[in-house]
Amino acid sequence: MDSDIVMVDEKGKRADGREADELRPMKIEAGVLPNADGSAYLEIGKNKVLAAVYGPRECHPRHLQDPTKAIVQCKYNMQSYSVGDRKRPGPDRRSVEISKIISEALESVILTELFPRASIDVYIEIMQANAGTRCAGLSAASVALADAGIPMRDLVPSVAVGKADGKLLLDLNKEEDNFGEADLPLAIIPKTDEVVLLQMDGHMTKEEFDAAMKMGVAACHQIYEMQRDALRRRYSVTEEEEVEE
Ligand code: UDP
Protein backbone atom coordinates (compact mmCIF):
# COMPACT_ATOMS: atom_id res chain seq x y z
CA MET A 1 0.00 0.00 0.00
CA ASP A 2 1.32 3.47 -0.94
CA SER A 3 -0.34 5.54 1.80
CA ASP A 4 -1.60 5.46 5.39
CA ILE A 5 -5.14 6.38 4.30
CA VAL A 6 -7.64 3.66 5.24
CA MET A 7 -10.06 3.06 2.39
CA VAL A 8 -11.64 -0.18 3.60
CA ASP A 9 -12.24 -0.76 7.35
CA GLU A 10 -11.94 -4.07 9.19
CA LYS A 11 -15.63 -4.82 8.48
CA GLY A 12 -15.06 -4.38 4.75
CA LYS A 13 -16.91 -1.02 4.59
CA ARG A 14 -15.49 1.75 2.45
CA ALA A 15 -14.85 5.32 3.64
CA ASP A 16 -18.06 6.48 1.90
CA GLY A 17 -20.09 3.70 3.60
CA ARG A 18 -20.36 1.40 0.58
CA GLU A 19 -19.79 -2.33 0.42
CA ALA A 20 -16.99 -3.52 -1.88
CA ASP A 21 -19.42 -4.45 -4.67
CA GLU A 22 -21.77 -1.47 -4.33
CA LEU A 23 -22.26 1.23 -6.97
CA ARG A 24 -22.48 4.87 -5.99
CA PRO A 25 -26.04 6.28 -6.04
CA MET A 26 -27.01 6.70 -9.67
CA LYS A 27 -29.61 8.64 -11.64
CA ILE A 28 -30.27 8.76 -15.41
CA GLU A 29 -32.67 10.98 -17.33
CA ALA A 30 -33.20 10.76 -21.10
CA GLY A 31 -34.19 13.62 -23.41
CA VAL A 32 -32.93 16.61 -21.43
CA LEU A 33 -31.79 18.79 -24.36
CA PRO A 34 -34.60 19.62 -26.83
CA ASN A 35 -32.18 20.95 -29.49
CA ALA A 36 -30.32 17.66 -29.77
CA ASP A 37 -31.61 14.60 -31.65
CA GLY A 38 -31.06 12.64 -28.46
CA SER A 39 -29.67 13.38 -25.02
CA ALA A 40 -29.19 12.08 -21.51
CA TYR A 41 -28.10 13.33 -18.10
CA LEU A 42 -26.39 10.95 -15.73
CA GLU A 43 -25.19 11.22 -12.14
CA ILE A 44 -23.15 8.58 -10.37
CA GLY A 45 -21.89 9.66 -6.97
CA LYS A 46 -20.45 13.14 -7.46
CA ASN A 47 -20.05 12.73 -11.24
CA LYS A 48 -22.46 14.83 -13.31
CA VAL A 49 -22.46 14.11 -17.03
CA LEU A 50 -24.42 15.32 -20.05
CA ALA A 51 -24.51 13.51 -23.41
CA ALA A 52 -25.94 14.93 -26.64
CA VAL A 53 -26.32 13.15 -29.98
CA TYR A 54 -26.70 14.70 -33.43
CA GLY A 55 -27.25 12.59 -36.50
CA PRO A 56 -27.06 10.57 -38.56
CA ARG A 57 -26.16 13.69 -40.57
CA GLU A 58 -23.87 14.56 -43.45
CA CYS A 59 -20.28 13.92 -42.45
CA HIS A 60 -17.93 16.91 -42.40
CA PRO A 61 -15.13 17.12 -43.37
CA ARG A 62 -16.13 15.05 -46.38
CA HIS A 63 -12.85 13.17 -46.62
CA LEU A 64 -13.87 11.36 -43.42
CA GLN A 65 -16.97 9.94 -45.12
CA ASP A 66 -17.15 6.17 -45.46
CA PRO A 67 -19.24 5.03 -48.47
CA THR A 68 -20.09 1.76 -46.66
CA LYS A 69 -21.19 3.04 -43.25
CA ALA A 70 -21.67 5.94 -40.86
CA ILE A 71 -18.76 7.04 -38.71
CA VAL A 72 -19.19 7.69 -34.99
CA GLN A 73 -17.44 10.81 -33.76
CA CYS A 74 -17.40 11.24 -30.00
CA LYS A 75 -16.06 14.31 -28.19
CA TYR A 76 -15.45 13.81 -24.49
CA ASN A 77 -14.83 17.11 -22.71
CA MET A 78 -14.15 17.86 -19.07
CA GLN A 79 -15.26 21.38 -18.11
CA SER A 80 -12.67 23.59 -16.35
CA TYR A 81 -14.95 23.83 -13.33
CA SER A 82 -15.59 20.08 -13.11
CA VAL A 83 -12.67 19.47 -10.74
CA GLY A 84 -11.13 21.32 -7.77
CA ASP A 85 -7.89 22.21 -9.57
CA ARG A 86 -9.14 24.08 -12.62
CA LYS A 87 -8.72 21.92 -15.72
CA ARG A 88 -7.10 23.69 -18.65
CA PRO A 89 -9.86 24.05 -21.27
CA GLY A 90 -9.65 22.30 -24.62
CA PRO A 91 -8.62 18.86 -25.78
CA ASP A 92 -5.63 17.11 -24.25
CA ARG A 93 -4.10 13.63 -24.66
CA ARG A 94 -6.45 12.17 -22.08
CA SER A 95 -9.65 13.53 -23.67
CA VAL A 96 -8.52 12.46 -27.16
CA GLU A 97 -7.89 8.93 -25.87
CA ILE A 98 -11.23 8.77 -24.03
CA SER A 99 -13.12 10.13 -27.07
CA LYS A 100 -11.52 7.41 -29.22
CA ILE A 101 -12.32 4.46 -26.95
CA ILE A 102 -15.90 5.65 -26.40
CA SER A 103 -16.40 6.11 -30.19
CA GLU A 104 -15.15 2.56 -30.75
CA ALA A 105 -17.38 1.08 -28.02
CA LEU A 106 -20.45 2.83 -29.46
CA GLU A 107 -19.56 1.90 -33.03
CA SER A 108 -19.66 -1.75 -32.03
CA VAL A 109 -23.40 -1.53 -31.22
CA ILE A 110 -24.70 1.03 -33.74
CA LEU A 111 -25.97 -0.37 -37.08
CA THR A 112 -23.65 2.01 -38.94
CA GLU A 113 -24.05 0.19 -42.27
CA LEU A 114 -27.60 1.62 -42.50
CA PHE A 115 -26.22 5.17 -42.93
CA PRO A 116 -23.43 5.24 -45.51
CA ARG A 117 -21.43 8.51 -45.67
CA ALA A 118 -23.12 9.88 -42.55
CA SER A 119 -21.72 10.96 -39.23
CA ILE A 120 -23.21 10.27 -35.83
CA ASP A 121 -21.87 12.91 -33.47
CA VAL A 122 -21.80 12.29 -29.75
CA TYR A 123 -20.85 15.05 -27.30
CA ILE A 124 -20.04 14.18 -23.71
CA GLU A 125 -19.65 17.01 -21.23
CA ILE A 126 -18.32 16.31 -17.75
CA MET A 127 -19.74 19.00 -15.50
CA GLN A 128 -18.52 17.51 -12.24
CA ALA A 129 -15.86 14.79 -12.00
CA ASN A 130 -15.10 12.35 -9.21
CA ALA A 131 -13.47 9.38 -10.98
CA GLY A 132 -15.18 7.05 -13.42
CA THR A 133 -16.17 9.80 -15.86
CA ARG A 134 -15.28 7.84 -19.01
CA CYS A 135 -17.67 5.08 -17.87
CA ALA A 136 -20.37 7.54 -16.83
CA GLY A 137 -19.97 9.33 -20.18
CA LEU A 138 -20.30 6.11 -22.17
CA SER A 139 -23.34 4.92 -20.19
CA ALA A 140 -25.00 8.32 -20.77
CA ALA A 141 -24.04 8.42 -24.47
CA SER A 142 -25.68 5.10 -25.24
CA VAL A 143 -28.96 6.30 -23.65
CA ALA A 144 -28.70 9.52 -25.71
CA LEU A 145 -28.21 7.44 -28.89
CA ALA A 146 -31.30 5.39 -28.10
CA ASP A 147 -33.19 8.63 -27.39
CA ALA A 148 -32.12 9.86 -30.85
CA GLY A 149 -33.71 6.73 -32.34
CA ILE A 150 -30.40 5.47 -33.74
CA PRO A 151 -30.67 1.73 -34.46
CA MET A 152 -28.44 -0.23 -32.10
CA ARG A 153 -27.89 -3.84 -31.15
CA ASP A 154 -28.08 -2.91 -27.46
CA LEU A 155 -27.23 -0.24 -24.90
CA VAL A 156 -23.70 -0.06 -23.51
CA PRO A 157 -23.44 0.12 -19.71
CA SER A 158 -20.01 0.87 -18.31
CA VAL A 159 -18.32 0.93 -14.90
CA ALA A 160 -14.83 0.68 -13.40
CA VAL A 161 -13.61 -1.90 -10.91
CA GLY A 162 -10.47 -1.12 -8.94
CA LYS A 163 -8.21 -2.28 -6.19
CA ALA A 164 -7.49 -0.30 -3.05
CA ASP A 165 -6.12 -1.46 0.31
CA GLY A 166 -5.52 -4.78 -1.48
CA LYS A 167 -9.27 -5.33 -2.01
CA LEU A 168 -11.35 -5.28 -5.17
CA LEU A 169 -13.80 -2.38 -5.13
CA LEU A 170 -16.57 -1.54 -7.55
CA ASP A 171 -16.95 1.94 -9.02
CA LEU A 172 -13.99 3.75 -7.41
CA ASN A 173 -14.49 7.29 -6.17
CA LYS A 174 -11.74 9.92 -6.53
CA GLU A 175 -9.93 9.09 -3.26
CA GLU A 176 -9.96 5.36 -4.02
CA ASP A 177 -8.77 6.06 -7.56
CA ASN A 178 -5.95 8.35 -6.36
CA PHE A 179 -4.66 6.16 -3.55
CA GLY A 180 -5.64 2.75 -4.90
CA GLU A 181 -3.47 0.21 -6.68
CA ALA A 182 -5.44 -0.47 -9.86
CA ASP A 183 -8.34 0.77 -11.95
CA LEU A 184 -10.13 -1.29 -14.62
CA PRO A 185 -12.82 0.53 -16.62
CA LEU A 186 -14.97 -1.77 -18.72
CA ALA A 187 -18.15 -1.74 -20.83
CA ILE A 188 -20.26 -4.58 -22.17
CA ILE A 189 -23.11 -5.40 -24.53
CA PRO A 190 -25.51 -6.92 -21.97
CA LYS A 191 -27.35 -9.21 -24.42
CA THR A 192 -24.14 -11.14 -25.08
CA ASP A 193 -21.76 -9.96 -22.32
CA GLU A 194 -19.33 -9.04 -25.10
CA VAL A 195 -16.70 -6.63 -23.75
CA VAL A 196 -16.49 -3.43 -25.85
CA LEU A 197 -14.20 -1.35 -23.65
CA LEU A 198 -11.43 -2.54 -21.36
CA GLN A 199 -8.52 -0.60 -19.95
CA MET A 200 -6.24 -1.15 -17.00
CA ASP A 201 -4.21 1.25 -14.93
CA GLY A 202 -2.04 -0.46 -12.27
CA HIS A 203 -1.59 -4.15 -11.57
CA MET A 204 -3.81 -7.07 -10.65
CA THR A 205 -3.10 -10.79 -10.40
CA LYS A 206 -4.84 -13.09 -12.88
CA GLU A 207 -7.27 -14.20 -10.12
CA GLU A 208 -8.01 -10.59 -9.16
CA PHE A 209 -8.57 -9.69 -12.80
CA ASP A 210 -11.06 -12.54 -13.25
CA ALA A 211 -12.92 -11.54 -10.06
CA ALA A 212 -12.87 -7.86 -11.09
CA MET A 213 -14.38 -8.70 -14.49
CA LYS A 214 -17.14 -10.71 -12.82
CA MET A 215 -17.91 -7.84 -10.44
CA GLY A 216 -17.86 -5.30 -13.29
CA VAL A 217 -20.10 -7.32 -15.60
CA ALA A 218 -22.67 -7.85 -12.82
CA ALA A 219 -22.69 -4.09 -12.11
CA CYS A 220 -23.06 -3.32 -15.83
CA HIS A 221 -26.27 -5.37 -15.79
CA GLN A 222 -27.52 -3.19 -12.89
CA ILE A 223 -26.67 -0.01 -14.83
CA TYR A 224 -28.38 -1.49 -17.91
CA GLU A 225 -31.65 -1.73 -15.95
CA MET A 226 -31.34 1.94 -14.96
CA GLN A 227 -30.63 2.93 -18.59
CA ARG A 228 -33.71 1.04 -19.75
CA ASP A 229 -35.81 2.59 -16.98
CA ALA A 230 -34.70 6.07 -18.07
CA LEU A 231 -35.85 5.34 -21.64
CA ARG A 232 -39.13 3.81 -20.46
CA ARG A 233 -39.83 6.91 -18.36
CA ARG A 234 -39.02 9.18 -21.31
CA TYR A 235 -41.41 7.37 -23.63
CA SER A 236 -43.92 6.32 -20.92
CA VAL A 237 -43.55 2.67 -21.80
CA THR A 238 -44.25 0.12 -19.08
CA GLU A 239 -42.06 -2.96 -18.75
CA GLU A 240 -45.01 -5.14 -19.85
CA GLU A 241 -45.62 -3.06 -23.00
CA GLU A 242 -42.00 -3.32 -24.08
CA VAL A 243 -41.76 -5.51 -27.17
CA GLU A 244 -39.20 -8.24 -26.72
CA GLU A 245 -37.16 -9.16 -29.78
N1 UDP B 1 -9.06 14.47 -12.98
C2 UDP B 1 -8.70 15.78 -12.70
N3 UDP B 1 -8.11 16.53 -13.68
C4 UDP B 1 -7.82 16.02 -14.93
C5 UDP B 1 -8.17 14.69 -15.19
C6 UDP B 1 -8.78 13.94 -14.20
O7 UDP B 1 -8.95 16.26 -11.61
O8 UDP B 1 -7.27 16.74 -15.78
C9 UDP B 1 -9.75 13.69 -11.95
C10 UDP B 1 -11.25 13.59 -12.22
O11 UDP B 1 -11.97 13.63 -11.00
C12 UDP B 1 -11.38 12.24 -12.86
C13 UDP B 1 -10.35 11.47 -12.04
O14 UDP B 1 -9.27 12.36 -11.92
O15 UDP B 1 -12.69 11.72 -12.74
C16 UDP B 1 -9.89 10.17 -12.66
O17 UDP B 1 -9.41 10.40 -13.94
P18 UDP B 1 -9.13 9.24 -14.98
O19 UDP B 1 -8.15 9.77 -15.99
O20 UDP B 1 -8.78 7.99 -14.24
O21 UDP B 1 -10.52 9.04 -15.74
P22 UDP B 1 -11.98 8.67 -15.20
O23 UDP B 1 -11.81 7.78 -13.99
O24 UDP B 1 -12.67 9.96 -14.87
O25 UDP B 1 -12.60 7.95 -16.35
Q: Could you read off the pLDDT of 32-45 as tens digits, one per residue? A: 999 999 999 999 99
Q: How many CA atoms lie within 13 A of 163 on its CB side?
A: 20
Is the CB of residue 198 below 6 angstroms from any atom belonging to ligand 1? Answer: no
The count of residues in the chain is 245
Whole-number Å distance between alpha carbons of 205 and 178: 20
Instruction: State residue 243's pLDDT score.
Output: 64
Helices (H), the chain: 93-107, 133-147, 174-179, 206-234
Give the number of the atom of ligand 1 that is nearest the alpha carbon of residue 177.
16
Q: Per DSSP, which regions of the chain are E strands?
A: 26-30, 38-44, 47-58, 71-78, 118-128, 158-164, 167-170, 182-189, 194-198, 201-202
Q: Could you read off the pLDDT of 168-199 as tens digits, one per residue? A: 999 999 999 999 999 999 999 999 999 999 99
Whether residue 244 is predicted with pLDDT greater than 70 in this model: the reply is no
Please give the distance, rounded to the nearest whole angstrom, from the Cα atom of residue 133 to the centre of ligand 1. Answer: 7
- What value does the mean pLDDT take over residues 13-35? 97
Please give the distance, rounded to the nearest whole angstrom, from the Cα atom of residue 125 to the centre of ligand 1. Answer: 13
Q: Could you read off the pLDDT of 113-141 as tens digits, one per residue? A: 999 999 999 999 999 999 999 999 999 99
Q: Could you read off the pLDDT of 49-59 as tens digits, one per residue? A: 999 999 999 99
Domains of the chain and any CATH numbers: 26-234 (3.30.230.70)
Mutate to test the pocket of ligand 1, among 133, 163, 186 (most ligand atoms within 8 A of CB): 133
Instruction: State residue 242's pLDDT score.
Output: 74
Is the CB of residue 45 below 6 angstroms from any atom belonging to ligand 1? Answer: no
